Chain A
């Protein structure tokens, strides 16, 4: 088991090396002639106006919140699923109750109109 995690650790260190190498090769052999016109921001030929970093719509935050709730819920359910053999039916129904409480939350957000993309 620890050998496996060493493999993953080394993979974590070496995996960025491959794309980085692919990006370093052009630095050696590709032409580099920057000029003002080439480095302009692309907007289908029109000049850009105003700030680039536009305002962040609040709707994205709400979707992220809903995602967060369900993500944490499912992460809590993974140990429940792995320990399934040792659980009596009562514990299974408790897990189901947990899921149902969160489904009720989803229904609430649905009815409140939070899941609309305005």
Chain B
């Protein structure tokens, strides 16, 4: 009973082969079963996430949140799903029907697909491919495609503008994200998730914390959450690219965004916090997913905390922050980690970790110094430039009577 998932899989394989099915057919049937179970499990967690989100935002804002619908409001998300299912599905005039319907499917399907490479336990993973990190990057990019499709097909100027801006920021923040994903790959010498988890003798967050921070910030921007939610900007451009979506289609976008946040948290937990590693995991493999979800929810809590603490940034600030700060910082960190790792090939682990950690903290300190100097320069520049308002005495007379 040490490995329930694989024991059940072997038992099913035995039964199916005793019915006379061929090897390929058995693999196919087990794969379909695995996919259905994984996707259902993930979607059920998604429902729980809606409840967690609403309760947490309430607590951050010093109120209670939903508490009527069940004990502690736990049935609230189910009530929301039922409500969305029975709402009328309005399609705007002149919208491109096929793409309009396809884009929520793509938005949610790409997030589901990411769960195929999350390692739950030493022997339980959907697909232990050796290019898992590249797969994550590729599938994440397809999600961005879903957004531009939503904006384009809505036949709405504001949806289109919102979609343009969202896509511009999302592709911008992919660059530091894939650099920050490259650094654990470099340390573990493999892109496969199980290999990266197995190589984390000290968790990578203690070795390369700056890469974790860069990945965290870029992921928040990729998700389109505050402080980077210029795409949704609920109070400004009224929901951006999904203005024209009603009912369950909107629900799919919303649930997809929350699920994407948890997926990204699970990936950060896998790559930096040691995934399923923890005490007694070798003897009792069932503890693996428990540790993984504890760590994933910890990162998710951090993402929520950031969301409810910071104001929104403007799009030019967002893009400037990416191209002028995060990308050079991430590239510089990559160079330093690569050179240090090669130089310390035969050094024992304790010294290795201390030197890497020291280098990271040194880069952070240097960055803070540069930022302080830049802030001082900016403050001086802004103090000089401001024009003083002069009452226009003569101009008004000339203007009256025109147009």
Contacts and interface: CB of A to CB of B under 8 A. Distances in A.
Given A115-B324, A117-B320, A20 B105 contact: yes
Interface in B77-109: 84-94, 101, 104-109
16 contacts: A4-B128, A4-B129, A5-B129, A11-B116, A26-B89, A29-B86, A30-B87, A48-B157, A63-B172, A71-B178, A77-B334, A78-B134, A84-B338, A93-B339, A99-B331, A106-B327
* Residue picked from B116, B185, B342, most chain A C-beta under 10 Å: B342
Contact of A44 (B36, B191, B238, B341): B238
Contacts of A54: 157, 160-161
B86 A52 contact: no
Given A8-B129, A33-B88, A43 B157 contact: yes
Contacts of B248: 22-23, 25-26
A74 B175 contact: yes
Contacts of A75: 134, 178
Contact of A30 (B89, B109, B185): B89
Interface SS, A side? helix
Given A29-B85, A92-B342, A93-B339, 12 more contacts: A4-B126, A14-B39, A19-B107, A19-B252, A41-B92, A41-B93, A42-B243, A42-B244, A52-B156, A106-B328, A110-B323, A116-B320
A-B interface, 10 closest residue pairs, ranked by CB to CB distance from nearest: A4-B127, A117-B316, A81-B186, A15-B109, A19-B108, A7-B127, A39-B93, A16-B109, A15-B112, A92-B342
Contacts of A89: 342-343
Interface string A20-57: 10110111011111101011111110001000111011
A106 B190 contact: no
Interface residues of A, number: 72
Nearest to A6: B31
A25 B82 CA distance: 10
Interface string A84-102: 1101010011011001101
* Residue picked from A36, A83, A93, A117, most chain B C-beta under 10 Å: A117
Contacts of B112: 11, 15, 18
Nearest to B90: A38
Interface of A: 1, 3-8, 10-12, 14-16, 18-20, 22-23, 25-27, 29-34, 36, 38-44, 48, 52-54, 56-57, 60, 63-64, 66-67, 70-71, 74-75, 77-78, 81-85, 87, 89, 92-93, 95-96, 99-100, 102-103, 106, 110, 115-117
* Residue picked from A23, A31, A54, A103, most chain B C-beta under 10 Å: A23
A3 B28 CA distance: 9
Contacts of B127: 4-5, 7-8, 11
Contact of B168 (A33, A63, A96): A63
Given A7-B116, A19-B108, A92-B342, A43 B319 contact: no
Interface string B1-21: 000000000000000000000
Contacts of B252: 19, 22-23
Given A1-B129, A41-B92, A82 B189 contact: yes
Interface in B133-174: 133-135, 152, 155-158, 160-161, 164, 167-168, 171-172, 174
